[in-house]
Amino acid sequence: VVSEQSGAVQNIVEPILDVALDVIADEVMNGGTVVIKGFGKFYQQQSPKTTKRNPKTGEKIIVPSTYRLKFRSSKKLNIKEGE
C-alpha cells in the first residue's frame, strides 16, 4: 500500500519499513520510548507480579511481573465519536 500511494518501488519501500520497525522494537525492548509525531508513542509498561489460583487444584501460583508493549495514539490520530 505504501509503495502504491507513494509511487515508490516495493523492493525499495519494504526494506526501509523493515528497518524502521526493527528500530522501534529494539528501542522499546531496551526500555526506551519511540514517538512518531502525528501518529503516536510506543513504550513499555511493566505489569506487577500477581497471585493467581489454579482452578483444578486451588493452589496459589505467583505470576511474575512482565513487560508489555503499549501504544498511545496522538490526538491528531484519534477519531472522535460520531465522525
Nearest one of 24, 2, 20 to 11, comparing CA atoms? 2
User: What pTM value is reported for the model?
Assistant: 0.67
Q: What is the pLDDT of residue 83?
A: 56
pLDDT band at 65 (very low <50, low <70, confident <90, very high): very high
Long-range contacts formed by 23-29: CB under 8 A, 24+ apart? 28/69
Average pLDDT over residues 34-55: 93
Three-state SS string over 1-68 comes to: CHHHHHCCCHHHHHHHHHHHHHHHHHHHHCCCCEEECCCEEEEEEEECCEEEECCCCCCEEEECCEEE
pLDDT score of 81 more than 60: no
The three cell numbers of residue 74 are 496522538
Average pLDDT over residues 14-23: 92
The three cell numbers of residue 27 are 528501542
